[in-house]
Structure 1
Amino acid sequence: MKFPVTRVILYTALLGTASVVAQTEEINRDYRPRTYDVQVRQFKIYPDTTEDIVFLGNSITARAQWNELLQLPQAKNRGISGDTTFGILERLDEVTEGQPAQIFLLIGINDISRNFPDEEIIQNYETIITRIKKESPNTRLVVQTILPVNSSFGEYERHYNKDGHIAKVNEGIKQLAKKYGLTLIDLHPLFLDDSGSLKAEYTDEGLHLNEKGYLHWAEILRPYFD
């Protein structure tokens, strides 16, 4: 499904006169990352057990070797770089059919970067929650708030300067956790610097975590496996 959304951009002319130009950009809800299909097919051939601890999300999840980072042999990585809430919904049955012990969910920053409306992201999040509860009722679902970004880096412009959207979606996640009685890990404030950005020590390009960021995340998560 593609729906047009209009962005208004100000251009300064050579003589200093500002003109307003309307530019149309399509919101593509059918977008899937280039490796999406092959990764989902790979996930489907891996064995499942009811002791699995599944880490579900996008590249921020995908870049960690969770079994090594947390020393949890039962940890399974189901992150796909570039994924969105729509992508999670499309492949969720692969996760729930194994009836895992726990699912740790972190998703939404790519939806925001692609200008999906905040309310729609939150609605998709609720659909993910209700499906997990229905399809795998004995699974403990742990929801995590979206991490901050740091716009002082220049590599991921689509993701930068959208702090208000991140805050809105995170508030929605918190409300959903309360509504459905879920475990919530509020990651966002635990990665902030004094200016309200992702701490530079935890990233090399303002969006993804580096090794220090993952070590910090691991320490936050560790109590949930005791």
Structure 2
Amino acid sequence: MFKSLCFFFSTVFLGLFAQENKQVFHNYFYDQRRSFFESMPAGKNEIILLGDSITNCANWDEIFSGGKVKNRGISGDITLGVLDRMDEIVRRKPKKIFILIGINDIAQKISTKTILKNYQNILSKLKSDSPGTIIYIQSILPTNDEFDTFKNHQGKMETIKEVNIELEKLAKENKAEFINLFPHFLDQNGKLSKSYTNDGLHLLGPGYMLWASIIKKYIG
């Protein structure tokens, strides 16, 4: 049921993102989920996973038990949407933060320059207002154009690779850790493996288990 809801919200709200060069992120689901996050008390030594539906659609507290890992994914979100809700993140002073954001920017045809500018502002906010937080930048995942559910996200693998290269540079410049998830999810044709997706964009259970296995050593 939860997975179905994530798919529904992704389908509905990503369908709104057809306006070229518009940084669209406000919608009912974004505001509802953001409001929930802002209503939650901060804990100690939290580990935050921040991003869009790829993050949103996993129960990270079940994958990593212990109560420290918090899901801050919002389906349909973009880099500007994450930047706009950073106050809720930095007030928590998390121990670690894992960021995965950008595929919806690419689907909206937001330029690489704008994506990186927003990303830099996210990092600057973290370093300024929560300097003790260890930052992990995760690469954008591949897609698979053999599926047509999310057409705006397909046919953009070269852009994904370009942005990932720049994110690795950005991580180095900001003394953050870069985690390259991208190659782990590829099939023999260089696409998001059907072992990990059923719509060409989002992950199935085995995909989340793979992702968790990659970041486990960083979660600690």
Matched residues in 1 for 2:73 and 2:39: separation? 16
| 1:192 and 2:186 correspond | yes
Corresponding position of 1:85: 79
Q: How does 1:54-73 map to 2 (within 5 A)?
A: 54-73=48-67
- In structure 1, distance between residues paired with 2:163 and 2:117: 10
**Residues 162 and 73 of structure 1, relative CA distance in 2, 3 Å threshold:** same
Q: Normalising by structure 2, what TM-score?
A: 0.89
Alpha-carbon shift at residue 119 of structure 1 (Å): 1.2
1:218 aligns with 2:205: no
C-alpha root-mean-square deviation of aligned residues, in Å?
Answer: 1.3
Alpha-carbon distance in structure 1 between the residues aligned to 2:24 and 2:103: 16
**What's the offset of the Cα at 1:31?**
3.5
Higher relative contact order (CA 8 A, sep 6+): 2
- For residue 102 of structure 1, the aligned residue among 88, 96, 107 is 96
Residues 152/127 of structure 1: CA separation in 2 closer, same or farther (3 Å cut):
same
Aligned partner of 2:125 among 122, 127, 131 = 131
Distance (whole Å) between structure 2 residues aligned to residue 146 and residue 26 of structure 1: 21
Structure 2 SS opposite 1:205: coil
Aligned partner letter, 1:125: Y
Structure index of larger Rg: 1
What corresponds to 1:154 in structure 2? 148
Shift in CA distance, 95/213, structure 1 to aligned 2, threshold 3 Å: same
1:87-107 CA deviation, whole Å, 9 max, x = no partner? 001101101111011111000
Structure 2: which amino acid aligns with 1:155? T
Aligned to 1:75: 69
Specify whether residues 136 and 195 from structure 1 end up closer, same or farther in structure 2 by C-alpha distance, changes over 3 A only.
same
The separation in 2 between residues aligned to 1:134 and 1:184, in whole angstroms, is 20
Quick one: which amino acid aligns to residue 62 of structure 2? E
Which structure shows the higher strand fraction? 1
**Count of aligned pairs:** 203
Q: Corresponding residue for 2:15?
A: none
Structure 2: which amino acid aligns with 1:194? Answer: Q
Q: Which amino acid aligns with 2:160?
A: I
Deviations 1:42-81 (A, max 9, x none): 1011111231111100000000111101224111111000
What letter matches 2:171 in structure 1? A
State whether residues 47 and 219 of structure 2, in contact with CA within 8 Å, keep that contact through their aligned partners in structure 1.
no
Q: Which has the higher helix share?
A: 2
TM-score by length of 1: 0.87
Residue 28 of structure 1: how far off its partner (Å)? 1.9
CA contact (8 A) 1:33 1:83 kept: no
Gaps of 5+ in 1: 1-23
Aligned partners of 1:30, 1:158: CA distance in 2, in Å? Answer: 14
Task: Give 3-state SS (helix, strand or coil) of 2:99's partner.
Answer: strand
Which residue of the partner structure matches residue 112 of structure 2?
Answer: 118
**Is the 8 Å Cα contact of residues 51 and 99 (structure 2) preserved in structure 1?**
yes
Partner of 1:40: 34
Per-residue CA deviations over 1:148-193 (Å, capped at 9, x if unaligned) read 0000011010000001110111111000111111111100111111
Give the Cα separation in 2 of the matches to 1:58 and 1:183. 20
Aligned sequence identity (%): 39
1:27 Cα deviation after fit: 2.6
Q: What is the deviation of 1:26?
A: 3.8
